[in-house]
């Protein structure tokens, strides 16, 4: 029988997906008009897609005006997707570009360990809003072209209330945002992945929605510049915009961005790409008449079978396929959200393997019980035959059977006692981890309630270790804390490593 390799791979993926609590995160795009969700599967095809229109006024310019309405809409969206309540619903939350400020800046050649510190300092300098009341982040988008070997970085900034309101609404509806970006970033990722755009060239993507027109400059497959033009600037009291007026704005704003690109990035725009529903042909005709030397095309992602309005959701969903340890892209979210996500995954994993252990233990317990009943029957049969004189060979056989029966009985008793004395180690481990803000626990040796616990870890400094030791000593149920100062060493990454030992009186943490 010849085995189909692809069939075996599909079976293996199904098994892994069944036993693994970690799901691929979806992309959730929120705007004034609608919510859109896309999730890919392991084969890079769209596994789930759903959208929901929002009532007018519930969200205005990317900001939530009616929290109850938005939370209810998100809850209905989750039901449409069909994610079970037992599974996590992590999402890459993509906000309206009009609510986000972005800025490209350069850094000289630096050691990788110094890049984050230098980038943080530059972000605070170029930020158009107060960094104390905003979330900000950055990502490396390329290398400097001036021959210095430096970095080109894109920084992004947004007011805290906007993000906090969306995260709160998502969590109320059962979604957990593990990263927060903006639609221009999602669009740049989508066109780089799914559209035939030259990655080394400077391309201008025009994304038209009901809120406005997003002019996105893409280079090296990354977002370099974003300019959002809301319709309210020209709409006024009118409910619609004439096609002639729209074309005037289209030509004027496209020219501004192309001139800015030429002066800022030192290169001409090599192509223009349109992502618009119903008016793509008119936009292409108008732009070709104005810029005859620049190719103008409409973005198509036929293999994904989604209309133009879903382009940003595809980009956000594509990021959801990344492992969290590999995601170094812009995320405009508070650090506590990432911590909650990791805790959620840890608890889910513990629950899964606790169930696996319980099922396995129950199976062996059943086997032992059946064996015990079988041996009891043998003992009863042997007891009934004890009224006659046994031969030496029969006596030896009976002795062996009695020994085996006692052994099985002892094993059954041991398993029953282990089940009855099952302790809850997770609260203890969680308590130890939460005691240190910047302390990393690298090893925790716990042999039992009567044995000392040995803890290895590292911290940014010796003072941080001492503070951690004090908090540990003040924790109830922890006694006999030993902290030899000779255990303090400097790790290769510059952090201070340490070793402590202590005893615990009970596991009621």
Which residue(s) pair with 212 in the sheet? 230
Determine contact, residues 217/285, Cβ cutoff 8 Å.
no
Comparing 78-87, 255-264, 461-470, which segment has the lowest mean pLDDT?
Answer: 78-87
Residues above pLDDT 70, as percent of the chain:
84
- Distance CA(27)–CA(50), nearest Å, equals 11
In this predicted model, which residue has the larger pLDDT, 14 or 243? 243
Q: What share of the chain is helix, strand, coil (3-state, %, to 5)?
A: 45, 25, 30
- Distance CA(142)–CA(267), nearest Å, equals 15
Average pLDDT, the chain: 83
Token look-up 């009976």 returns 398
List pLDDT tens digits, range 221-239.
899 999 999 988 877 666 7
Model pTM? 0.64
Confidence band, pLDDT 50/70/90 cuts, at residue 318: very high
Comparing 8-12, 219-223, 372-376, 451-455, which segment has the lowest mean pLDDT?
Answer: 8-12
Confidence band, pLDDT 50/70/90 cuts, at residue 205: very high
∠ at Cα 453 (450, 457), nearest 5°? 175
What is the CB-side half-sphere exposure of residue 137 using CA atoms within 13 A?
19
pLDDT value at residue 134: 92
Question: Residue 303 pLDDT more than 80?
Answer: no
Measured over the CA atoms of residue 298, residue 303, residue 304 and residue 306, the dihedral's sign is positive
Burial class (CB in 10 A: 0-12, 13-18, 19+), 137: buried
Coil, helix or strand for 309?
helix
Confidence band, pLDDT 50/70/90 cuts, at residue 1: very low
Determine contact, residues 25/90, Cβ cutoff 8 Å.
yes
- Distance CA(210)–CA(223), nearest Å, equals 22
Q: What is the mean pLDDT of residues 126-131?
A: 84
Q: What is the mean pLDDT of residues 492-507?
A: 87
- Give me 140's structure tokens: 């490396």
List the one residue out of 406, 411, 449, 459 whose CA is nearest residue 428: 449
- Distance CA(112)–CA(116), nearest Å, equals 8
Confidence band, pLDDT 50/70/90 cuts, at residue 385: low
pLDDT value at residue 384: 61
What is the CB-side half-sphere exposure of residue 158 using CA atoms within 13 A?
28
């Amino acid at each position: 029988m010849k085995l189909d390799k692809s069939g075996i791979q599909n079976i293996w993926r199904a098994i892994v997906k069944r036993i693994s609590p970690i799901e691929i995160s979806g992309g959730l795009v929120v705007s004034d008009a609608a919510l859109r969700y896309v999730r890919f599967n392991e084969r890079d095809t769209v596994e789930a897609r759903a959208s929901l229109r929002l009532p007018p006024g519930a969200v205005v310019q990317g900001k939530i005006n009616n929290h109850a309405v938005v939370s209810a809409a998100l809850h209905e969206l989750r039901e449409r997707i069909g994610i079970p309540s037992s599974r996590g619903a992590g999402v890459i939350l993509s906000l309206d570009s009009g609510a986000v400020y972005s800025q490209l800046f350069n850094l000289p050649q630096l050691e990788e360990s110094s890049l984050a510190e230098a980038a943080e300092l530059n972000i605070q300098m170029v930020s158009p809003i107060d960094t104390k009341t905003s979330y900000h982040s950055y990502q490396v988008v390329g290398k400097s072209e001036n021959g210095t070997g430096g970095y080109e970085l894109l920084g992004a900034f947004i007011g805290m209330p906007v993000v906090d309101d969306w995260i709160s609404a998502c969590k109320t509806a059962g979604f957990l945002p593990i990263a927060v970006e903006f639609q221009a970033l999602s669009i740049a990722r989508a066109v780089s992945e799914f559209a035939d755009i030259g990655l080394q060239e400077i391309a201008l993507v025009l994304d038209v929605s009901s809120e406005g027109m997003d002019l996105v400059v893409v280079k090296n497959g990354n977002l370099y510049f974003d300019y959002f033009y809301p319709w309210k600037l020209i709409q006024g009291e009118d409910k619609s915009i004439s096609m002639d007026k729209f074309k005037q704005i289209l030509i004027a704003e496209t020219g501004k961005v192309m001139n800015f690109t030429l002066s800022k990035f030192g290169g001409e725009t090599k192509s223009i790409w349109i992502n618009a529903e119903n008016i793509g042909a008119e936009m292409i005709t108008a732009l070709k008449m104005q810029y005859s030397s620049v190719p103008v095309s409409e973005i198509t992602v036929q293999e994904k079978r989604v209309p133009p309005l879903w382009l940003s959701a595809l980009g956000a969903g594509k990021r959801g396929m990344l492992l969290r340890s590999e995601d170094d892209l812009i995320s405009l979210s508070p650090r506590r959200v990432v911590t909650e996500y990791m805790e959620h995954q840890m608890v889910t994993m513990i629950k899964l393997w606790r169930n696996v252990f319980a099922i396995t233990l129950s199976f062996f317990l059943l086997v032992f019980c059946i064996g015990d009943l079988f041996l009891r029957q043998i003992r009863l049969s042997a007891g009934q035959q004890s009224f006659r004189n046994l031969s030496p060979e029969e006596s030896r056989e009976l002795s062996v059977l009695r020994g085996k029966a006692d052994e099985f009985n002892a094993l059954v008793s041991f398993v029953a006692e282990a089940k009855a004395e099952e302790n809850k180690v997770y609260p203890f481990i969680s308590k130890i981890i939460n005691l240190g803000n910047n302390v990393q626990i690298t090893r925790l040796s716990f042999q039992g309630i009567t044995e000392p616990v040995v803890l290895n870890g590292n911290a940014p400094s010796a003072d941080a270790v001492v503070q951690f030791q004090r908090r540990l000593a003040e924790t109830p149920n922890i006694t006999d804390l030993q902290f030899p100062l000779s255990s303090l060493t400097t790790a290769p990454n510059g952090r201070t490593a340490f070793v402590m030992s202590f005893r615990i009186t009970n596991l009621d943490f």
